[in-house]
Amino acid sequence: MADGGGTQETLGPELFDRMQTSVRRQIDGEAPGRIGAFLSGGLDSSTVVGLLAGAGAGQAKTFTITYDDGEFDESEYARIAAQHFGTDHHEYRLTPDDVCDTITAITEIYDEPFGNSSAVPTFHCARFAREAGVELMLAGDGGDELFAGNSRYIEDRVFRHYSRIPRFLRSGLIEPMLAVAPTSLGGSFLRKARNYVAAARLPIAARMTGSTTLLRTSLGEIFTSDFLAEIDPRQPEQLVVDMFDDPTSATELQRCLAVDMRLTLADSDLRKVNRMCEAAGIRVRYPMLDDDLVAFSARVPERLLLGNGELRQFYKQAFSRFLPNEIITKKKHGFGLPFIDFVRSHPPLRDLARDSLSALKKRGYFRPAYIDSLTGAGGDASFGGITWDLMILELWLEKHTNVATAAREYV
């Protein structure tokens, strides 16, 4: 990401041209009526859809997931993009029954426990497209990791301000005062200040994974002592630190992007979409990850990527005349699943979650009190925290432990 003096005026049109070339390259040789695209209504999926619609391959087919839950439903933006580009648009309303039906596919197709709950809507969107006659889907994954779209890149800049304060003031005055000051004096402001300082003192690699539930809670409260004695609890953070330190001549933003390319994109998002499309019987390609486009992204200066402290500023300006304004100004949402609402309102899913966590308690990995805290005391099923992840872990263990046992018995 060397700053070669490029400007928005010179690099923006080049980005547009390279994206257009990438989309056409992905669909070359494909039957026009058999091509579709995931459409969430975000920047990347809308861009891919718009370029697909203009690629001369017939009317583009687009597919999105809708929910009754307005917090997770982005179909309004998908419709805006579909209408803007004149696509043959399809919507599938996901239900709790769909979640129950999909769990088997998730536990069978992955060779390790995979806790990304958005695998469920991905699978149903892909299967819906397959039933509509589509054989190849285009997906917009990769844009955030190439063009700086994750909020932690901005947050890191805020934390860096603290490190510029002289060390003797930080360690000799600010931190001791925050440590002894009674909360009653500052209320919520004091709590926020303490949290800010605690986060700012962490290495950036640790902050990139520090929002997870397991890192916010003492491991001794979650896992049994026998299990903790068999593992290295520091290994996950050290893995990120090693990734972050690997590109020795890179800036902090470049290092963050490199970590997200390996963890967020390769280990989670692509693994999610690839396997769920495979389970649905459909192929998928990623125009954002075209080799030439990835190489181009490394030439975009940091001052353009996060200009004026705005995520994806360079990208938004490059496509400001192509995408609907509602898409450009839309708040970043993310592709999620309203699992907590589903599990509370749908008895079969609630029973599956409760039974799975009950079985997991017996394996000796987790403290029973921690599992109980997720399902609620006295039978009041709150199912908070990482219930989905633990449910998938138990169901995966049941499936694959039984397979391994049968294999050993056969031999």
**What is the domain-level CATH number for residue 123?**
3.40.50.620
DSSP tag of 171: I
Same domain, 12 and 95: yes
Q: How many whole angstroms separate alpha carbon 305 and alpha carbon 291?
A: 19
Indicate whether 231 belongs to any domain.
yes
The arithmetic mean of pLDDT across residues 195-206, rounded, is 77
pLDDT of residue 250: 84
Q: How many whole angstroms separate alpha carbon 32 and alpha carbon 376?
A: 52
Q: How far is CA 337 from CA 44, 117, 168, in A?
A: 19, 6, 46
Q: How many whole angstroms separate alpha carbon 132 and alpha carbon 68?
A: 23
pLDDT of residue 402: 63
Which of 293, 328, 363 is the C-terminal boundary of a domain? 328
Indicate whether 386 belongs to any domain.
yes
Same domain, 67 and 134: yes
Same domain, 101 and 80: yes
For residue 222, the enclosing domain spans: 208-245
Indicate whether 264 belongs to any domain.
yes
Indicate whether 182 belongs to any domain.
no
Question: Predicted confidence band at 174 (pLDDT cuts at 50, 70, 90)?
Answer: confident
Nearest to 50 by CA among 34, 37, 35: 37
| Residue of higher predicted confidence among 212 and 16 | 16
Asked whether residue 7 carries a pLDDT value surpassing 60, the answer given is yes
Comparing 55-64, 318-327, 388-397, the range with the smallest average pLDDT is 55-64
pTM score above 0.75: yes
Indicate whether 379 belongs to any domain.
yes
Counting the structural domains of the chain, the total is: 3
Indicate whether 288 belongs to any domain.
yes
Indicate whether 166 belongs to any domain.
no
Give φ, ψ of 21 to 5 degrees.
Answer: -65, -40
Per residue in 267-295, pLDDT (tens digit) is 999 999 999 999 999 999 999 999 999 99
pLDDT of residue 321: 95
Same domain, 224 and 134: no
Same domain, 117 and 19: yes
Which of 328, 352, 381 is the C-terminal boundary of a domain? 328
Same domain, 18 and 144: yes
Q: Residue 383 burial by CB count (10 A; 0-12/13-18/19+): exposed, middle or buried? A: buried
Same domain, 223 and 130: no
The arithmetic mean of pLDDT across residues 332-361, rounded, is 88
Same domain, 39 and 141: yes
pLDDT of residue 378: 45
Which of 328, 354, 386 is the C-terminal boundary of a domain? 328
Same domain, 32 and 128: yes
Same domain, 106 and 12: yes
Same domain, 237 and 273: no
Indicate whether 333 belongs to any domain.
no
Same domain, 240 and 275: no
Give φ, ψ of 3 to 5 degrees.
Answer: -80, 100
